[in-house]
Each structure stands twice: as C-alpha cells, then as structure tokens.
Structure 1
Amino acid sequence: MDVSIVIPLLNEDESLPELCAWIERVVTAHQLSYEVILVDDGSTDDSWEVILQLAAKNPALKGIKFQRNYGKSAALNEGFKAAQGEVVITMDADMQDSPDEIPALRRMIIEEKYDIVSGWKQKRFDNTFTKNIPSKLFNAAARQSSGIYLHDFNCGLKAYRKKVVKSIEVFGEMHRYIPVLAKWAGFKKIGEKVVEHRARKYGVTKFGWERFINGFLDLMTITFLNKFGKRPMHFFGLYGTLAFILGFATSGYLIISKLIDREFSLTNKPFFYIALTFMIIGVQLFVTGFIAELITRNAAERNVYLIEEKLGIS
C-alpha cells in the first residue's frame, strides 16, 4: 500500500464527507493505493455514523471509535498501530489541512529519503494574538531545547516513513513532539515543507489557551525524559547529593562554631534552619530518584484505551 492517511477527529461530522471525497480525488488522480484511518476521539455528535456511511461506499475508509475522549496523542498512537501504508500521513479533520499536499509529502519521503516531513503553515488564517504569537514562542523554545529546527512543531499535516510510526509511542500530549520522539529513536533526517493553511469551514476549534500552557509543560517533560528518562537517579541523585552536602557542611560549620564559642547560639541563626532544610530536601530528592528508578524498571503499559468499535481494522 502506498499511503496511509491517519485523521484524528472530535465532533467533525460536517467536514468528514467533503474531506474524504477530496482525499479520494487526490489519491485516485495520482494512482496511489491508500487507506484512510479515521480515529473518533469520543465525539458527541454524529461523526461515527458519518464514518460508517462513508465506509459503506468506500472500502479504503477505516475507523476506530474511542469510548471516551482521550486526546489527539492517543488517537494518533492507535492510528499508527493500524497503519499499513509505506508512507503514513497525518492531517486534521477540520479541512484546514489540504489533501492536495499528499503527493508532494509522499514524494519527499520516497524520493528524497526523509524519515519525517513536517508541514509549515507559513501563511495562517488564525487569530494573530491568540494563536500566532504564542505559537511562535512555543516553536522557538522547542527548537532550542530539541535541536530540531522546524518552524511549526504543532502542524497536524506531517508525513512519516512507516518504520518511524512503528518505532515510537505517542502518549499524554506528546503529539506536538513526534519529531523529537523520532529523533530519539534514531530517525534523524527530518525535513519541512511549506503547506497551505485554509480557513476553518465547519465547526469551531477544539483548542484554547490551555494548549500553550500544556505545550510548554510537555516541552519540559520531554526534555527531562530525553536526558534522564532511563536514568532518573542521575538527576535526582545528583541534586539531592549536592543539597545534602551543602546542608551538612553548613551544619558542621555551625556545630564547630558552637564548640569553640559556648555562647554561640545555633537556634538563633537563620543558617541553622537553612542547613536543615537543604539536608531534608537532599534526602527527599535522593529517595525520589530511587523510587523513579523502580517505576522506570517496572512501568506497566501506559497506552491502553477503551475502544468501543473498529471498522475495517483487525
């Protein structure tokens, strides 16, 4: 199969017929064998009924229906598991991503040997204050911390070599950082393509201001996981040891001062309480490191979701 198109969606029943028809026109014109995997992330509208109706007319359409809303990362992770195409392309269901980009994205993976090609919405139709400016700040921070120089980490329109999506696990809210996850897995040829960004035609956006706060928190998480995910004791143990040594040394100095000068008052000195605090924090960090090591080595499956129904997927 030439291409798998994975589309996570939430309450997009209005856009689905037009989007799927557009995809079919594009892939048929370029003579590509394909599948479209529509992942319904707990929609409360008629999205799943629309998917069933469309799939009855086009066997290339497949579906996964979550029992409740888990988020975009979960939807992508399940879509990646089901994908069979040589190239896997993701796009949003709101029709702000253009299916006309599919052939060029696939060509960059096949002919130019990229592992990932990320879309760059150079000209956007979003509100400048609420989306563009925070997005620029977020992308700048992501570039600096990851060493991957993409203009738009959060663009939903991306293309992947099949081996990439089968080698990574997308969880939590890490869909913004799939290129970073892929880089950790050893896929280093990551490219970028300017893509068309269209004004929203149906419905309303599902993301608010909180996505930028969550984005920066996830950036901190993924930076920590990159450096210390497999060896948390190296982080907690290091700073715990430093804090304990600092507190212990300060306590030793105060005790020696008391032995030399009997009138010297330990409890009247702020450094006495600061030293105790550092020692306590040091011990807590050290113990946290041990617990984190145990959790890391005994972690259960974290990507288990309640799927109510599947369509065309074994």
Structure 2
Amino acid sequence: MAVSTRSFDTAPRLADRPGVHVSVLVPAKDEAGNLALFVEQCAEMIDTQSASFEVVIIDDGSSDASWTILQELRTRYAFLHPVRHRAQRGIAEALRTGYLHARGQVLVFYPADLQFKPEDIPSLVNPILAGDSDMVTGFKQGKYEKAFVSRIYNTLSRTLFHVPVRDLNNVKAYRREIMAALPMRPDFHRYMIVMAAAQGFTVTEVPIPLYPRHSGRSKFGLSRIPIGVLDMVAVWFELRFGQKPLLAFGMLGAALFALGVLAGMSALGWLLATGQGQRWAWTVIQTCLVLGSIFFATGLLGEQIAQQRSEVREMRRELGELAAGQRENEEREEQGPSRVTVRDTR
C-alpha cells in the first residue's frame, strides 16, 4: 500500500553497490535469554542472501548478562557489532546510536525478543534494495498482547496523519537518508513512518508473522498510553506548524487581540450611550489584549527557533554527506582501485 509517489527511474539499485548493504539495528534491554538464538537465526538468514548484512545490537543499559553474551557472540559472528549504553536511554536513542555505528545504506529496526523472526527481514529489505520503496513497514499477522490498545493507537494515528498503513509502530526497514532527515526527539521511532511520509518518502507495508516471546517479558505497559497520546499531539503540531509557528500562535494571538479591541470599542460605545459600564466586560477585554499580545510574541520567538532548527538540520545534512563520502572512499579502497562505486545522488 503506497503512501506517496516518487520516481526511481534513474536511481541505481542499492544491491549493486559495494560494501554493507543492510544494517539491522536491534535495541536490546535485558534480553540475555534471546540474544544467542536471535544471532544464530540472523546468521542463517544472512547465508541465504546475496546482499551483505551486518547486525548492530544496542545493549540499552541491561542489568542481566546481555553484554557478556554479546561479547562472546562477537567472536563467533563477523557480521555482529554490539554497542553498549551504560544506562537505559530508550529505543529512540538506541536506534540513533545504531545508526551512527551502522555502515549499511538500508537500516532495519528489529527487536531481539524473537516475536519477529530474522528470516522475515528480507521481505522488508528487498523492495528497498530493488529501488521500489524508501521505507517498508510490517503489519502483524497473529495474536498478540495489547491488540486493543494497538488498534486504538493506529486508528487515531491514521485519522490524525492520514497515512493509510495498518500498523505504524512495528518492525520496519528504511533508507539511511530517512534517519538523517528526521528530527531527533524522544520516542520518534513510533512516528517514523508519519514523518518520513510527510517529507515525501514512499512507504510500503508487508505482512510479518508474529510469534510468542521466546524469553523474558514485555517492557511496555498501560502507562505508555497517555505518553503515546501526548507524543502523537506533539508530532502532529511539529508537522503542521513546526516550520511556521507564527501561523499557529500569530493567528491565535491576532484573533484574541482583535476580539479584545472590538469588545473594547463596543463596551465604550455602550458606556457613552447609556452611562453604564460592565466591569466583567473590561476584564475580558484586558485578558484578550494581554493573551493576544503574548501569543503573537510567542509566534515571533518560535519563528526564530524554527530558523535555527533549519540551519542545524542543514548542517546535519552536510555532515551526513561528508560522512557518506568518507565511507564510500573507505569502501572503494577496500574493494581495490579497479572497482568503481556508483553513488546514489537522489
């Protein structure tokens, strides 16, 4: 189900480029009972693929033996690159850390709890490697806990953002430039599809089987519901008014200020005509004038902040291009002088 359209006629297939094609980013918090089997299944999947893979597992402040297990697994699997947070930072920070350590042109967000099998990763990745999509998200096939909450969340998200995918917060694969283009904010991974679609990237969804957890328990409870709703509102405001905050605050402030002026003129006319004044009316008028001025000033301040954010985003883009160029030079040197790298210039 495509969300937006974009031409790929002149884009080279990512699978035709040298180096690492796919980086699987795996946030892991207290997953000692799952890591060995997960990595083993990743090895089986990688052996069947023509594209080159790496697996970046981010230990997000685990209190069990996860890091020790990852260190041991690294000696057995060359594709494995473990990274460690000494304290828990959350999935968004873990994905950001994985992105900074990954070398692939396609990134995959995949959990370590084995509710999703590594054998299904190619179904997410192949449309991107073939140049048919920018992002591929899975929608769950099978029974799972908190299905009712998930349906409410997805229904609200589709209504608010008009992105016609069935599961916004699931495993997904996406081009590296999507991660570079997204604003960094807590829990941004939940709305990665929404923000990517808003910037013109294409989104496709595929069915992904869901299995019972192999070990451990879910880290998420009902307490996440109000946080998710507030995040949803924040993302909606970011997409609607993030680039032009004066459009929201300025219009509201101007409307309140104009209402106060008109009410004041009406109250003054009534006072001159009847000789009677209404104290409550003057209180409302003063409130409208003060709030209108504050909102308008807030909009002007927001415009300055938006300008600074645009400059920072441009700097990040340029730094990303420099880093990409450096990686391509290193890969070219590893491949030898006879190999020619075709750069994706989209």
Fold match by TM threshold 0.5: yes
Query: How far off its partner does 1:31 sit?
Result: 4.3
In structure 2, the gaps of 5 or more residues are 1-19, 314-346
C-alpha distance 33-112 of structure 1, shift in aligned 2 (>3 A): closer
Partner of 2:284: 274
What is the letter of the counterpart of residue 195 of structure 2?
L
1:243-258 correspondence runs (5 A): 243-258=256-271
Partner of 1:307: none
More helix per residue: 1 or 2?
2
Query: How far off its partner does 1:227 sit?
Result: 1.7
Partner of 1:225: 238
Are the counterparts in 2 of residues 73 and 172 from structure 1 also a CA contact under 8 Å? yes
1:1-314 correspondence runs (5 A): 1-111=20-130, 113-126=132-145, 131-155=146-170, 157-187=171-201, 189-262=202-275, 264-267=276-279, 270-298=280-308
Partner of 1:309: none
Partner of 2:4: none
Q: Number of aligned residue pairs: give it.
A: 293
CA distance in 1, matches of 2:135, 2:152: 23
Query: How far off its partner does 1:117 sit?
Result: 0.7
- 1:15 partner SS: helix
Are the counterparts in 2 of residues 243 and 281 from structure 1 also a CA contact under 8 Å? yes
Partner of 1:306: none
- Deviation string 1:138-194 (CA, Å, 9 cap, x unpaired) is 111211222211111111x1111233333334421111111122123331x211011
- Please, which moves more after superposition, 81-90 or 95-104? 81-90
C-alpha distance 67-298 of structure 1, shift in aligned 2 (>3 A): farther
C-alpha distance 11-280 of structure 1, shift in aligned 2 (>3 A): same
CA distance in 1, matches of 2:264, 2:183: 47
CA distance in 2, matches of 1:171, 1:51: 28
- Deviation string 1:26-71 (CA, Å, 9 cap, x unpaired) is 1112344211011122222222222111112212111221232221
- 1:178 partner SS: helix
In structure 1, the gaps of 5 or more residues are 303-314
What is the letter of the counterpart of residue 78 of structure 2?
P
- 1:265 partner SS: coil
* Aligned alpha-carbon RMSD (Å): 2.0
Q: Provide the identity percentage.
A: 28
CA distance in 2, matches of 1:266, 1:168: 53
